[in-house]
Amino acid sequence: MLPCRVNFLSACDPAPSAGALLSTISRGPFMATTLTGPVRVRFPPSPTGFLHVGGARTAITNDLLRHSLGGSLILRIEDTDRQRSDPAMTAQIQSALAWLGIEPDEGPFLQSARVDEHRAAAQKLLDEGKAYHCFRTAEEIDEKRQDAHKRGVTSFYRAAFPPPPADEVERRVAAGESYAVRFRMPMGDMTFSDLVRGEVTFVEDVLDDFIILRSDGSPTYHLSVVCDDIYGGVTHVIRGEDHISNVPKHIGLFQALGAEVPTFGHLPMIMGPGRKRLSKRTGAASVEEFRDQGILPQALYNYLALLGWSPGDDREVMSRQEMIDAFTVERLVPSAAAFDYDKLRWMNAQYLSGEPLAEVLDHLAPFLAEVGLADADRDRLGAAVDLHRTRAYNLKELAAYAVPYFIDTLEYDPDLCKKFFKQPDLPAQVDQLIEGFRTVETFDIEGVEAVIRNLATDLDVKAGVLIHPTRMALSASKAGPSLFDLVAAMGREASVRHLGNFVRYLRDNPPPQEEAATT
């Protein structure tokens, strides 16, 4: 066995032909790697559902790599599984990527558009003896597998079924028998350098011949991917860890097809809370869900980028450009991370209060529409949003905060108003306040503050006696921004109106009966 083992690195990569594209990779977890661009990377989702956060993270990593080294990102839709593919999902995925700010340089290309080329590649392999006809039925193979499994061993096709001799092939094909095409996996161990895991070896004993063309003539995933990666000139394949065991198959195919083998990097899976599989049950799992929840794309991008990568210093909230500048593959983390909704929420709050107001307003639009504020005055809206952005964790909350500024009448919660009912003088005091607001010359922060403070002095009460009911009147809430800011942003008309409604509410609702006699 020993003599026939082949080390892929030494045996199959004779001359660094691609110059700048060639990378020296040797990463035990900590060995240095030098990657140089330009690179050609790809993101190949299957159009079978919404863009999952795992996929988004893969896309982001590819995006960061291509921007940090220069090069291009190819979007390829892997729609070879016609059963499960849905064209609507292609558009969906594209829009999710666009929303995240990831713009492919090329594509989308449909994998299905090139099946003829894929078939031709299979034929070429067949002609060169690198693949062979497989007349075995699935049942037959499965039986062998089951049997082996029972005995506690693994069944390998190439050990169990020798390829049929040429004359037999000719005869059976002529007879119209259906067959699949199976790739003849080269003998020897397969070792490759993974950008995030370092050297990974699959020993010869676990390698097997695999189908590249189904008996209906359709190419399988492995063939299609490799053909398209060759066609696209892909230099770096960065994808999820679930593909790592496909690498030997793919390397075998790249070599058999006479192509240069790209550099691989396998990102760990993203786990849900409690290390469970991330799914709708554990919380949102797709990009559109987060979008609909009011997460800013910058925040999601930033959060996802940091899930499995760090810049090496203590920076966390980083602009796209900062991430690009700091990005290196050697800082990719090999261990799987659990998605932390709390941290994303915090990150989103950071962006909500830190991004330019206009940017926030743009993203807020759909949420404003949801609460009936589709055509609210942008200036007043801006003032309101600016006051509440440090208090909101998502755009939904932020939109809700804007409602009192535009709605005619507010609903007051008797529970929250309890203490105001106990102030018999309050309605009259608020009446005076209304008068003050009506007549104050300039209705701005200083103006309203003066009105409130002067009135408090006149009434010989603390400012808080007026401030708290006013907050309740204008926002139907006990908490919120500085009251003077709130009133000023609300404007004279709305402030006076809400105050008027509030006095009426106070007068119309008798104070709640005494505490239950049980005390």
Partner RNA sequence: GCCCUCAUCGUCUAGCCAGGUUAGGACACCAGCCUUUCAAGCUGGCGACACGGGUUCGAAUCCCGUUGAGGGUACCA
- In this structure, are residues 199 and 263 in contact, taking their beta carbons and an 8 Å threshold? no
Rounded to whole angstroms, how far apart are CA atoms 200 and 204?
13
Least separation, in Å, of the C-beta of 457 and RNA? Answer: 15
Between 298 and 350, whose beta carbon lies closer to RNA? 350
76, β-bridge pairs: 109
- Nearest partner of 264 among 293, 291, 243, judged by Cα: 243
The CB-of-206 to RNA minimum distance in angstroms stands at 4
The phi, psi pair for 417, rounded to 5°, reads -95, 0
Q: Between 31 and 98, whose beta carbon lies closer to RNA? A: 31
Cis peptide before 108 (omega within 30 of 0): yes
Q: Which is nearer to RNA, 46 or 255 (CB)?
A: 46
Distance CA 329, CA 344 (A): 23
How near is the Cβ of 518 to RNA at its closest, in Å?
A: 29
Q: Is the dihedral of CA 102, 300, 280, 244 positive or negative?
A: positive
Least distance (Å) between residue 17 CB and RNA: 27
The residue among 9 and 71 lying less far from RNA, judged by its C-beta, is 9
**Could you write out the DSSP letters of every residue in 252-268?**
HHHHHTT-PPPEEEEEP
- Residue owning tokens 């309605």: 427
Q: Which is nearer to RNA, 40 or 388 (CB)?
A: 388
The minimum distance between CB 326 and RNA, in angstroms, equals: 12
Q: 328 vs 501, which CB is nearer to RNA?
A: 328
Is the preceding omega at residue 38 within 30 degrees of 0, hence cis?
yes
Position 89, amino acid: M
CB of 470 to RNA, least distance (A): 8
Instruction: Count Cβ atoms within 10 A of the Cβ of residue 104 and give its class: 0-12 exposed, 13-18 middle, 19 or more buried.
Output: buried
Q: Which is nearer to RNA, 260 or 386 (CB)?
A: 386
Catalytic residues: 280
CA angle 273, 276, 281 (to 5 degrees): 75
HEC assignment per residue over 327-363:
CCHHHECCCCEECCHHHHHHHHHHHHHHCCHHHHHHH
Rounded to the nearest whole angstrom, what is the least distance from the CB of residue 437 to RNA in the complex?
16
**Helices and strands per DSSP (H, E), number in the chain:** 22, 14
SS (H, E, C) 394-437: CHHHHHHHHHHHHCCCCCCCHHHHHHHHCCCCHHHHHHHHHHHH
Question: Which is nearest to 333 in space by CA: 316, 310, 349?
Answer: 310
